[in-house]
Amino acid sequence: MLISYQQRTRLLLSDEQFKVYRDGDLTVYINEARNQVAGEAECLADYSSLPVDQTSQQYPFTSIVGSAAAHTAGVGPILNVRSANVALGAGQQIVVPRAWEWFQIYELDQVAPSPGLPRVFSQLGQGVAGTLWVNVLDIAYILNLTTTCLPIALASDETPEAIPLLWTIPVPFYAAWLALMSHPAPQMDPDKMLQRYQDMMGRARAGANPQTLPNIWSQGPDIADANRYGISGGKAA
Protein backbone atom coordinates (compact mmCIF):
# COMPACT_ATOMS: atom_id res chain seq x y z
CA MET A 1 0.00 0.00 0.00
CA LEU A 2 2.91 2.35 0.69
CA ILE A 3 4.07 2.27 -2.93
CA SER A 4 0.53 2.99 -4.12
CA TYR A 5 0.30 5.98 -1.75
CA GLN A 6 3.65 7.29 -3.01
CA GLN A 7 2.61 6.97 -6.64
CA ARG A 8 -0.72 8.69 -6.10
CA THR A 9 0.90 11.48 -4.10
CA ARG A 10 3.51 12.05 -6.83
CA LEU A 11 0.78 12.27 -9.46
CA LEU A 12 -1.01 14.93 -7.42
CA LEU A 13 2.28 16.82 -7.10
CA SER A 14 3.08 16.40 -10.84
CA ASP A 15 6.42 14.87 -9.84
CA GLU A 16 6.29 11.67 -11.91
CA GLN A 17 9.97 12.07 -12.83
CA PHE A 18 11.14 12.03 -9.17
CA LYS A 19 12.78 15.43 -9.56
CA VAL A 20 11.42 17.23 -6.49
CA TYR A 21 10.36 14.88 -3.67
CA ARG A 22 12.21 11.92 -2.18
CA ASP A 23 10.41 8.68 -1.29
CA GLY A 24 11.54 8.98 2.33
CA ASP A 25 9.99 12.42 2.68
CA LEU A 26 6.76 11.29 1.01
CA THR A 27 6.58 8.34 3.42
CA VAL A 28 6.71 10.75 6.37
CA TYR A 29 3.94 12.89 4.85
CA ILE A 30 1.84 9.79 4.04
CA ASN A 31 2.02 8.43 7.59
CA GLU A 32 1.14 11.83 9.01
CA ALA A 33 -1.79 12.01 6.59
CA ARG A 34 -2.97 8.54 7.63
CA ASN A 35 -3.04 9.63 11.28
CA GLN A 36 -4.96 12.77 10.33
CA VAL A 37 -7.55 10.81 8.35
CA ALA A 38 -7.99 8.15 11.05
CA GLY A 39 -8.37 10.75 13.79
CA GLU A 40 -10.62 13.11 11.87
CA ALA A 41 -12.92 10.41 10.48
CA GLU A 42 -12.76 8.05 13.50
CA CYS A 43 -12.79 5.33 10.85
CA LEU A 44 -10.49 2.86 12.59
CA ALA A 45 -12.52 1.24 15.37
CA ASP A 46 -11.46 -1.73 17.45
CA TYR A 47 -13.09 -3.97 20.07
CA SER A 48 -10.76 -4.47 23.01
CA SER A 49 -10.69 -5.67 26.60
CA LEU A 50 -9.34 -4.18 29.82
CA PRO A 51 -8.95 -6.02 33.14
CA VAL A 52 -9.88 -3.74 36.06
CA ASP A 53 -9.95 -4.40 39.82
CA GLN A 54 -10.33 -2.85 43.27
CA THR A 55 -6.68 -1.73 43.50
CA SER A 56 -6.95 1.21 41.09
CA GLN A 57 -9.37 3.62 39.46
CA GLN A 58 -7.13 4.64 36.54
CA TYR A 59 -5.80 2.54 33.65
CA PRO A 60 -3.51 3.75 30.85
CA PHE A 61 -4.61 3.16 27.28
CA THR A 62 -1.45 1.09 26.82
CA SER A 63 -2.96 -1.58 29.12
CA ILE A 64 -5.93 -2.08 26.74
CA VAL A 65 -5.46 -5.13 24.52
CA GLY A 66 -7.21 -6.63 21.50
CA SER A 67 -9.86 -9.06 22.66
CA ALA A 68 -9.66 -11.69 19.90
CA ALA A 69 -7.21 -13.60 17.73
CA ALA A 70 -8.71 -11.79 14.75
CA HIS A 71 -7.48 -8.45 16.15
CA THR A 72 -7.08 -6.19 13.13
CA ALA A 73 -3.56 -6.12 11.72
CA GLY A 74 -2.12 -2.65 11.37
CA VAL A 75 -4.06 -1.09 14.28
CA GLY A 76 -1.90 1.26 16.34
CA PRO A 77 -2.33 3.39 19.47
CA ILE A 78 -5.75 4.10 20.96
CA LEU A 79 -7.01 7.63 20.42
CA ASN A 80 -10.14 7.47 22.59
CA VAL A 81 -12.65 5.09 24.16
CA ARG A 82 -16.14 5.34 22.70
CA SER A 83 -18.10 2.88 24.85
CA ALA A 84 -17.66 0.24 27.55
CA ASN A 85 -19.50 -2.83 28.79
CA VAL A 86 -18.67 -4.98 31.81
CA ALA A 87 -18.75 -8.75 31.48
CA LEU A 88 -21.23 -10.20 34.01
CA GLY A 89 -22.21 -13.86 34.11
CA ALA A 90 -23.09 -15.00 30.60
CA GLY A 91 -23.72 -11.46 29.36
CA GLN A 92 -22.69 -7.82 29.61
CA GLN A 93 -23.91 -4.60 31.17
CA ILE A 94 -23.23 -1.08 29.94
CA VAL A 95 -20.81 1.21 31.78
CA VAL A 96 -22.00 4.79 31.34
CA PRO A 97 -19.50 7.30 29.86
CA ARG A 98 -19.18 10.61 31.68
CA ALA A 99 -17.29 13.86 31.10
CA TRP A 100 -14.16 14.22 33.20
CA GLU A 101 -15.59 17.19 35.11
CA TRP A 102 -18.69 15.15 36.04
CA PHE A 103 -16.48 12.26 37.15
CA GLN A 104 -14.43 14.56 39.38
CA ILE A 105 -17.51 15.97 41.08
CA TYR A 106 -19.57 12.82 41.57
CA GLU A 107 -16.99 10.03 41.77
CA LEU A 108 -13.67 11.43 42.98
CA ASP A 109 -15.15 13.91 45.47
CA GLN A 110 -16.05 11.22 48.02
CA VAL A 111 -14.37 10.67 51.38
CA ALA A 112 -15.77 7.16 51.79
CA PRO A 113 -16.86 5.81 48.37
CA SER A 114 -18.95 2.64 48.21
CA PRO A 115 -17.20 -0.06 46.14
CA GLY A 116 -19.28 -1.89 43.55
CA LEU A 117 -19.38 -3.11 39.97
CA PRO A 118 -18.29 -0.76 37.14
CA ARG A 119 -21.05 1.84 36.67
CA VAL A 120 -19.37 4.85 35.03
CA PHE A 121 -16.13 5.61 33.24
CA SER A 122 -14.36 8.74 32.10
CA GLN A 123 -11.41 9.51 29.89
CA LEU A 124 -8.49 11.74 30.83
CA GLY A 125 -6.24 12.61 27.90
CA GLN A 126 -6.11 10.98 24.49
CA GLY A 127 -3.78 8.78 22.49
CA VAL A 128 -0.86 6.90 24.00
CA ALA A 129 -0.86 9.18 27.06
CA GLY A 130 -4.60 8.75 27.70
CA THR A 131 -6.08 7.03 30.74
CA LEU A 132 -9.44 5.47 31.51
CA TRP A 133 -10.99 6.04 34.96
CA VAL A 134 -13.75 3.98 36.61
CA ASN A 135 -15.64 4.22 39.88
CA VAL A 136 -14.29 2.39 42.94
CA LEU A 137 -14.69 -1.38 42.40
CA ASP A 138 -15.29 -4.22 44.83
CA ILE A 139 -13.63 -7.07 42.87
CA ALA A 140 -11.91 -7.70 39.53
CA TYR A 141 -13.85 -7.31 36.27
CA ILE A 142 -13.28 -7.31 32.51
CA LEU A 143 -14.35 -4.26 30.51
CA ASN A 144 -15.12 -4.71 26.82
CA LEU A 145 -14.33 -1.46 25.03
CA THR A 146 -15.07 0.07 21.65
CA THR A 147 -12.08 2.25 20.83
CA THR A 148 -11.02 4.64 18.09
CA CYS A 149 -7.44 3.98 17.02
CA LEU A 150 -4.61 5.31 14.90
CA PRO A 151 -2.86 3.08 12.34
CA ILE A 152 0.69 1.84 12.68
CA ALA A 153 3.19 3.63 10.45
CA LEU A 154 3.83 2.18 6.99
CA ALA A 155 7.51 1.24 6.83
CA SER A 156 7.34 -0.75 3.58
CA ASP A 157 4.84 -2.06 1.07
CA GLU A 158 4.43 -5.18 3.25
CA THR A 159 3.18 -3.24 6.28
CA PRO A 160 -0.57 -3.92 6.63
CA GLU A 161 -2.95 -1.02 6.06
CA ALA A 162 -5.80 -1.01 8.59
CA ILE A 163 -7.52 2.14 7.30
CA PRO A 164 -10.74 1.13 5.43
CA LEU A 165 -10.73 1.50 1.66
CA LEU A 166 -12.89 4.61 1.27
CA TRP A 167 -10.73 6.45 3.78
CA THR A 168 -7.48 5.62 1.99
CA ILE A 169 -8.54 7.89 -0.89
CA PRO A 170 -8.03 11.23 0.96
CA VAL A 171 -4.59 10.19 2.28
CA PRO A 172 -2.51 11.22 -0.79
CA PHE A 173 -4.27 14.60 -0.92
CA TYR A 174 -3.25 15.46 2.64
CA ALA A 175 0.24 14.06 2.04
CA ALA A 176 0.52 16.22 -1.08
CA TRP A 177 -0.58 19.27 0.92
CA LEU A 178 2.15 18.57 3.50
CA ALA A 179 4.70 18.19 0.70
CA LEU A 180 3.64 21.51 -0.86
CA MET A 181 3.76 23.25 2.51
CA SER A 182 7.31 21.99 3.05
CA HIS A 183 8.58 23.24 -0.31
CA PRO A 184 10.07 26.77 -0.43
CA ALA A 185 8.54 27.38 -3.87
CA PRO A 186 5.62 25.02 -4.49
CA GLN A 187 4.48 24.59 -8.07
CA MET A 188 0.79 24.73 -7.10
CA ASP A 189 -1.40 26.34 -4.47
CA PRO A 190 -1.28 24.33 -1.19
CA ASP A 191 -4.69 25.69 -0.13
CA LYS A 192 -6.33 24.18 -3.21
CA MET A 193 -4.81 20.79 -2.36
CA LEU A 194 -6.12 21.06 1.19
CA GLN A 195 -9.58 21.87 -0.20
CA ARG A 196 -9.41 18.77 -2.40
CA TYR A 197 -8.51 16.73 0.68
CA GLN A 198 -11.54 18.10 2.53
CA ASP A 199 -13.72 17.28 -0.48
CA MET A 200 -12.42 13.70 -0.51
CA MET A 201 -13.11 13.36 3.22
CA GLY A 202 -16.69 14.48 2.62
CA ARG A 203 -17.08 11.95 -0.19
CA ALA A 204 -15.68 9.19 1.99
CA ARG A 205 -18.10 10.05 4.81
CA ALA A 206 -21.04 10.10 2.40
CA GLY A 207 -20.04 6.69 1.09
CA ALA A 208 -19.30 5.14 4.48
CA ASN A 209 -22.56 6.16 6.17
CA PRO A 210 -25.60 4.31 4.79
CA GLN A 211 -28.74 6.17 3.75
CA THR A 212 -30.86 3.98 6.04
CA LEU A 213 -31.04 5.76 9.42
CA PRO A 214 -27.87 7.77 8.68
CA ASN A 215 -28.10 9.75 11.92
CA ILE A 216 -27.35 6.68 14.08
CA TRP A 217 -23.88 6.25 12.54
CA SER A 218 -20.62 7.87 13.58
CA GLN A 219 -20.42 11.50 12.42
CA GLY A 220 -23.77 11.12 10.69
CA PRO A 221 -25.95 14.12 9.83
CA ASP A 222 -27.74 15.91 12.65
CA ILE A 223 -31.43 15.01 12.24
CA ALA A 224 -32.37 18.20 14.10
CA ASP A 225 -30.63 20.26 11.42
CA ALA A 226 -32.49 18.35 8.72
CA ASN A 227 -35.82 19.18 10.35
CA ARG A 228 -34.80 22.76 11.06
CA TYR A 229 -33.82 23.55 7.48
CA GLY A 230 -36.45 21.45 5.74
CA ILE A 231 -33.94 19.00 4.29
CA SER A 232 -35.05 15.55 3.21
CA GLY A 233 -32.74 12.95 1.70
CA GLY A 234 -29.94 15.51 1.41
CA LYS A 235 -32.03 17.96 -0.65
CA ALA A 236 -34.19 20.93 0.32
CA ALA A 237 -37.87 20.09 0.47
Over the stretch 68-114, which tens digit does the pLDDT of each residue have?
A: 434 567 888 888 899 999 988 888 999 999 999 999 999 988 888 88
Could you tell me the residue range of the domain that residue 199 belongs to?
2-38+163-207
Among 25-39, 54-68, 155-169, 216-230, whose mean pLDDT is lowest?
A: 216-230
My answer on whether 6 and 100 are in the same domain is: no
Task: Say how many C-beta atoms besides its own lie within 10 A of residue 101's C-beta.
Answer: 9
My answer on whether 104 and 192 are in the same domain is: no
| Structural domain includes residue 236 | no
Which helix (DSSP H) or strand (DSSP E) does residue 46 occupy? strand 45-52
Query: Binning pLDDT at 50, 70 and 90, where does residue 34 land?
Result: very high
3-class SS letters over 6-36: HHHHHHHHCCCCCCCCCHHHHHHHHHHHHHH
DSSP secondary structure code for residue 224 in this structure: H
My answer on whether 63 and 138 are in the same domain is: yes
CA distances from 151 to 24, 159, 164 (A): 19, 11, 11
Q: What is the pTM of this model?
A: 0.78
My answer on whether 90 and 34 are in the same domain is: no
3-class SS letters over 88-135: ECCEEEEEEECCHHHHHHHHHCCCCCCCECCCEEEEECCHHHCEEEEC
| Structural domain includes residue 96 | yes
Closest to 162 measured CA to CA, from 175, 174, 147: 147
Which helix (DSSP H) or strand (DSSP E) does residue 194 occupy? helix 190-208
